[in-house]
Structure 1
C-alpha cells in the first residue's frame, strides 16, 4: 500500500481516525526529512567536488606574469631580443648612454636574419649601431668583443651606423637615430622606460 502525504490548507477539515492520522502524519514527516537529507547530502557532495576541482585548477595555473614574455612599450621583439628604434637623433656616445639608461646597448648584430630585420624596421633614416674603433684599430662592439667582420663596414669613420645599403661609418659626433637592444626577459623584470 502506497500512501501519499497530502497537505491541506486547513488541516482541521480532514478527519482521520486517530491511529491512521498519526501514522500518516508520521510517514509524511519521515518522507520529507529523508528527501531533505538526500538533497542536503547531494548539495554537500557537489560543493566539495567543485571546490576540489577549482583548487586543483588554481594550483596548476602559473601566475600570468610568469607566462608573459614581452618587450617594454616602444620596443620590438625579434629572435630573443628587444630592439628600440629611436625617433630622436643624438651622437654615437649620447645614443649609447641612452641605451645604457634602458639597461641595453647600441645594437650588436649577430646574424644575417637580424641584419635583415634591422634594415627593414629602421626605415629610411640612418641609425647608430654598437660598433666603434680607435684610430687604425679593429672594430669592437660596445661589450668589448672584437667584430668578426661577417659584414662589411664602409667608410673611414670611428663609429658605425646602418643606412639603406648596410653598414657605414662616420665621426662619432654626427647626430643620427640609433637602435638599442637587450635580451628578451619576463615582463616583471623590465624597468619603466626612462627618457
Structure 2
C-alpha cells in the first residue's frame, strides 16, 4: 500500500464523520424549526381544548337563557277587566245590560231593575248609546233619565246631571230610547225597559300573552 492511501482513507473517514455531524445538525435544526413552526405543540393543544370547552359552555348557557326567555311571555300575564254577565244579560265594555221583553211604566221598570241589583239604563258615552240603539231594534225602551218638571234639568237615576250630549225630544219628564234617538213620555206609559248593572259582575282575569 502506498503512503497516499492511508491519507486518503483518513480523509474519507473525516468526510464521513463530517457528513454524520452535518446530518445530525440538520435533524436538530429541523426539530427546532418544527417546534417553532408547528402549531401542534402540547401547550397549544391544551389552549385549544380550553377555548373549545369555554365556547361550548357559553353556547349551552346561551341556549338555556334563550329557552327560558322564550317561555316568559307565556308565564307573564296582564290584568284585563271585562264583564261576565248573568244569563239573558248582554255585556258591553265594563257593563251588563238587560233588554226586557215585557212592558211597564217608568216607575215599575225602575223597581224591577233595582230588584235585580241594577238600575234603569245609563250610558256614559256615545259608544254605549250607539250600542243600546243598535241592539234595541224597533222597540221603545225606558232608560234612567228623568226630571222633576220641564223647568228642571235632566238627571240619571243616581242623580248625576245629564250632559245633554244628545237632545231629548218632547216635553214630558221621563226618557226612553226611540227610533229617533231619545224621546220623552209620561211616567205611566207602558214600554219595555233596559237595566244596567254597572261593574257588579266585573272580574279581573289573568290573560296570558300570546307567544310567537
TM-score range, shorter chain: 0.5 to 0.7
Q: Which has the higher strand share?
A: 2
**Deviation per residue, 1:45-92 (Å, 9 max, x gap):** xxxxxxxxxxxxxxx9xxxxxx99510001000010000000000000
**Deviation per residue, 1:80-121 (Å, 9 max, x gap):** 000000000000000000000011110111111111100111
5+ long unaligned stretches in structure 1:
1-59, 61-66, 188-195
Q: How many residues align?
A: 126
1:107 matched to 2:106? The reply is no
TM-score of the aligned structures, taking structure 1 as reference length: 0.60
Relative distance call for 1:72 and 1:138 in structure 2 (3 A) is same
TM-score of the aligned structures, taking structure 2 as reference length: 0.55
Once superposed, what is the RMSD of the aligned Cα atoms?
2.4
Aligned to 1:119: 133
Equivalent-residue separation in structure 1 for 2:83 and 2:185 (angstroms): 36
Residue 129 of structure 1, CA deviation: 0.4
Residue 183 of structure 1, CA deviation: 2.1
Relative distance call for 1:174 and 1:68 in structure 2 (3 A) is closer
1:128 matched to 2:142? The reply is yes
Equivalent-residue separation in structure 1 for 2:189 and 2:87 (angstroms): 28
- Name segments (4+ residues, structure 1) moved above 6 Å: none
5+ long unaligned stretches in structure 2:
1-74, 76-80, 204-212
